[in-house]
Amino acid sequence: MPHYFPMSDPTHYTGHAGALSDPAAAAIQTGLLLVNLGTPEAPTAAAVRPYLAEFLGDPRVIDYPRWLWWPILHGVILRVRPRRSAQAYARIWTPQGSPLRVGSEALAAALQNALDRRRPGAVRVALAMRYGQPAVVPTIERLVREGVRRLLVLPLYPQYSATSTGSVLDAVAAAMQRLRWPPELRTINDYHDDPAHIEALAGHIERWWQRHGRGEKLLLSFHGIPERYVRAGDPYRDQCLATARRLRERLGLAEDALVLSFQSRVGREPWLSPYTDATVRALAARGVRRLDVACPGFAVDCLETLEEIAMQNREFFLEAGGEDLRYIPALNDDPAQVDQLCALALRHLQGWPGFDGRAVRSAEAPA
């Protein structure tokens, strides 16, 4: 049986954070914590409001002074945006729940199985969300109670940004501060140019093209951040460009066959450009009739891919004269992504008891 558990039951978080809740769990020494962005519990305004309050209240995401931002957030945005966002979530919600939550849990379970094949019982995989449930702090507290003394944190963001990975590290640090006896800690900042990750992306796109045919151009849409964040030292744009360049080279595409853009901007200040919505309109106006779109910044499909790209931007493209915008799904629990993350984790676990170079070689071999 795999050791993966979603860890969403709050009844597990009772008791002293340093005590073992189960004597049998004392054998579990190493944990791998996957962290994704998060999702509301339901596609309703009532459920979206606290999720947005936590997300937009994070100073890593919106770094305006609190005296300026708080009245805007609580006096305007949280009165208007939850209903609109709930309608968007309702368009993609499944009988199993939020696609991001369901997809992240499937990826975590598949990764647990892959690690168990290579190092049986050596690594306990857990999933947490930066915003919403299961939260980072109680998830780490539970792992410690159950015997984890060495913890590797893997944010599911291929490219580093202070707004995403940086925020996860803040939450992990908050958990460490609460623990009387914190575990040994390692973190993975990014994997934007990991050759196995590029290969997983390229192979996934090629297989999709084999099934559905190939559009006239391939658009890579990454989540945007304000330009001033990059000027302040955030490496995100450079890492997105590096991913796009390596992926274009691996796919053997001419420079004009692959286009890069940034989506999901909010507010009035300049964000990274070109903007995705303007780009799809411009491509249609220039005569592109079939456009393929992939989102290499998202490990798992979510609102920003399934609703913003596959629905909203498809409508923009058609309205501007295009005939079809086809969204290529995220890797999700594709075996190529599972194997890549397994090998990545095992490399970062080297040097801890029970992990050596043989584990990495076996992880990179076919399962």
| CA-closest candidate to residue 124, choices 354, 336, 301 | 354
- Is 184 within any annotated ligand binding site? no
- Is 223 within any annotated ligand binding site? yes
Q: What is the phi/psi pair of residue 119, to 5°?
A: -135, 80
| CA-closest candidate to residue 334, choices 100, 111, 183 | 111
Query: What's the alpha-carbon Rg for the chain, to the nearest Å?
Result: 21
Are 212 and 326 contacting, i.e. CB atoms less than 8 angstroms apart? yes
Q: Which stretches of 77-233 are DSSP H helices?
A: 78-92, 99-118, 136-145, 165-178, 195-212, 227-231
DSSP code per residue over 150-180: EEEEEES-SS--TTTHHHHHHHHHHHHHH-S
**CB-based burial label for 312 (10 Å; 0-12, 13-18, 19+):** middle
Q: What is the rounded CA–CA span in Å between residue 179 and residue 308? A: 39
Dihedral sign for Cα 266, 60, 310, 210, please: positive
Q: What is the rounded CA–CA span in Å between residue 45 and residue 83? A: 5
Q: What is the rounded CA–CA span in Å between residue 233 and residue 320? A: 36
Strand order in the sheet with 30-38: 123-131, 30-38, 150-155, 184-187
Binding residues for Fe(2+): 223, 304
Binding residues: 223, 304
